[in-house]
Amino acid sequence: MFPSSANSFSPSSLFSAYASLTGFFMLFRSMLQDFVPVQLRNYFSRLLDRFLTPKSKTLTVIIDENFGSNRNQVFDAAELYLRSKIGPETERLRVGKTPKQKHFTISIEKGEEIVDSFEGSEVRWSFVQSEKEKGEQVKRHYELTFEKKLRDKVMTSYLTHVVAESEEIKRSLRVVKLYSQDVYVNDDDNGCAGGNWGCISLEHPSTFETLAMDPAAKKKIIDDLDRFLKRREFYKRVGKAWKRGYLLYGPPGTGKSSLIAAMANYLKFDVFDLELSSIYDNGELKRVLLSTTNRSILVIEDIDCSAEVRDREADEDQESKKDRGRVTLSGILNFIDGLWSSFGDERIIVFTTNHKERLDPALLRPGRMDMHINMSYCTGLGFRTLVSNYLGLDGLNHPLCEEIERLVDSTEITPAELAEELMQDDDTDVVLGGVVSFVEKRKLEKSKDVSICKEVVIKTDDDEKQSGCTSGMRNRKKQAGKRRGRGTRVVNAITY
């Protein structure tokens, strides 16, 4: 039927060979359709495909936007993670912003590819979005492509890394909230948790960089916070609630509230500002505290000014008389390290006071508050930080700064007072000249004050006892100026 050699091919013989071959395949196909079941036919067709299609060395993982009826956590994590991987080779991006967002949100456009490397291996991401059909929702997914041999590494370590990194990014983008019982706004769009707390965004600009404080003490606090965050497993192992307590004490205007804001901005923890005087009794305290959220800082300012929590023995007497309708120190201690302390995770509790000596020893006993931080009068180094904050100046570069630092070191003057002086004029020389006269005047006043105090020492003590708390926290702040210059000089000391 076929010619024996290539030389003997003629157009007519070729045509007849082609016709008979085609006839054979048509006959074979109709026999196949008539006698071979469809499943077997499909099987052979797939087998043939497998042998004929060249083998791919890569694997592509599809990450859909939704997982069942829920959002797919890996998709959301990839969306955030890939924002940080957008490089100069990307040609099309999407940008957007809601009225409440502070920053633009940038994401990759469909069809764009991003190359990422992880422990020396390369993976490729691309974003795919289906065209919108009538009545259908747009479907979006990421395709993650990598060499097949990397399958285990990508599916375990790499995806875990993507999720962890995205959590970190989320944390850094988070807007910190300030919760209070006195605020009636509770804007869910703003990410406020429910409960009986009102909430606004914490716009306090204080950070550890802007805080005028002894650098060593500042570092100790930052290290302590870092250690606390990393110790989830440790707290579990030793059977302790994952909490940390700080007692901030020192004269008015030395930065206690600023330090709390700096902590919140550093950790991206919300702040719950608890005004004890607005709480009716221990029962309400319990309800209020239980509605606080994880990763938060509970602040009780001027703890010495809550008369009920100054003396626990008196509390106990009162309790025995079934005197209800007030918050007691025992009620608070129960939440610090009593049975109720184990509620929630990653909680920080901060108490502030201007009069540590007036606190109940039960509050001060070792282990109750983990760190006692003395926020004291400004030091020369602290002044240098203020100069950089307020004048944008390296203190070493101005001839007056050295003199002021020396003066500040030997005078009891608060960072708040110096901050006020540093805002008096736009001209740096005028401002610093003003600071010199202000500090010198204070020094003089102080030396006169000491001689007067020596004469009327008993009266002054009484005054001190009566002043602080009875006038209430807010009034006390107004009095702060009058009481400037009192107290011992311990510079930002920390005790555990």
Ligand X SMILES: Nc1ncnc2c1ncn2[C@@H]1O[C@H](COP(=O)(O)OP(=O)(O)OP(=O)(O)O)[C@@H](O)[C@H]1O
Q: Of 57-65, 70-78, 209-217, 322-330, which segment contacts ligand X by CB under 6 A?
A: 209-217
Whole-number minimum distance, CB 256 to Mg ion, in Å? Answer: 5
Whole-number minimum distance, CB 257 to ligand X, in Å? Answer: 3
Partner interacting with residue 416 (select from Mg ion, ligand X, none; CB below 5-8 Å by kind): ligand X
Q: What character string, x for contact with ligand X (CB under 6 A) and - otherwise, covers 417-436? A: --x-----------------
Q: What character string, x for contact with Mg ion (CB under 5 A) and - otherwise, covers 200-239? A: ----------------------------------------
Q: Edge to edge, what strands does the sheet with 296-300 contain?
A: 198-201, 177-180, 270-273, 296-300, 347-353, 243-249, 371-374, 494-495
Q: Are 365 and 241 in contact (CB under 8 A)?
A: no
**Contact flag: residue 254 with ligand X (CB under 6 A):** yes
State which of residues 416, 432, 435, 439 lies at the interface with ligand X (CB under 6 A).
416
Whole-number minimum distance, CB 207 to Mg ion, in Å? Answer: 17
Q: Are 408 and 378 in contact (CB under 8 A)?
A: yes
Q: Among residues 125 and 179, whose Cβ is nearest to Mg ion?
A: 179
At 207 the three-state DSSP class reads coil
Q: Among residues 328 and 376, whose Cβ is nearest to ligand X?
A: 376
436-458 in b/e burial notation, b at 16+ Cβ within 10 A?
eebbeebbeebeebeeeeeeeee
State which of residues 295, 358, 477, 483 lies at the interface with ligand X (CB under 6 A).
477
Torsion angles phi and psi, residue 177, rounded to 5:
-110, 150
Q: Among residues 245 and 255, whose Cβ is nearest to Mg ion?
A: 255
Q: Of 139-147, 233-241, 335-343, 411-419, which segment contacts ligand X by CB under 6 A?
A: 411-419
**Contact flag: residue 468 with ligand X (CB under 6 A):** no
Whole-number minimum distance, CB 357 to ligand X, in Å? Answer: 15
State which of residues 331, 344, 395, 415 lies at the interface with ligand X (CB under 6 A).
415
Q: State how far the Cα of 392 lies from the Cα of 386, in Å rounded to an integer.
A: 9
Partner interacting with residue 419 (select from Mg ion, ligand X, none; CB below 5-8 Å by kind): ligand X
State which of residues 245, 253, 331, 468 lies at the interface with ligand X (CB under 6 A).
253
Q: What is the total count of residues that contact ligand X (CB under 6 A)?
A: 18
**Cβ neighbourhood burial of 459 (10 Å; 0-12, 13-18, 19+):** exposed
Q: State how far the Cα of 187 lies from the Cα of 198, in Å rounded to an integer.
A: 8
Q: Among residues 289 and 378, whose Cβ is nearest to ligand X?
A: 378
Q: State how far the Cα of 272 lies from the Cα of 259, in Å rounded to an integer.
A: 15
Q: Are 370 and 246 in contact (CB under 8 A)?
A: yes
**Contact flag: residue 257 with Mg ion (CB under 5 A):** yes
Q: Among residues 245 and 252, whose Cβ is nearest to ligand X?
A: 252
Q: Among residues 344 and 415, whose Cβ is nearest to ligand X?
A: 415
Q: State how far the Cα of 475 lies from the Cα of 471, in Å rounded to an integer.
A: 6
Q: Of 139-147, 158-166, 289-297, 415-423, which segment contacts ligand X by CB under 6 A?
A: 415-423
Alpha carbon separation from 321 to 309, 314, 315, 324, 362 (Å, rounded): 17, 11, 10, 9, 21
**Cβ neighbourhood burial of 200 (10 Å; 0-12, 13-18, 19+):** middle
Q: Are 73 and 163 in contact (CB under 8 A)?
A: yes
Dihedral of alpha carbons 13, 16, 20, 21, sign: positive
Q: Are 212 and 382 in contact (CB under 8 A)?
A: yes
Residues near Mg ion (CB under 5 A) are 256-257
Residues near ligand X (CB under 6 A) are 210-213, 252-258, 354, 375, 415-416, 419, 477, 480
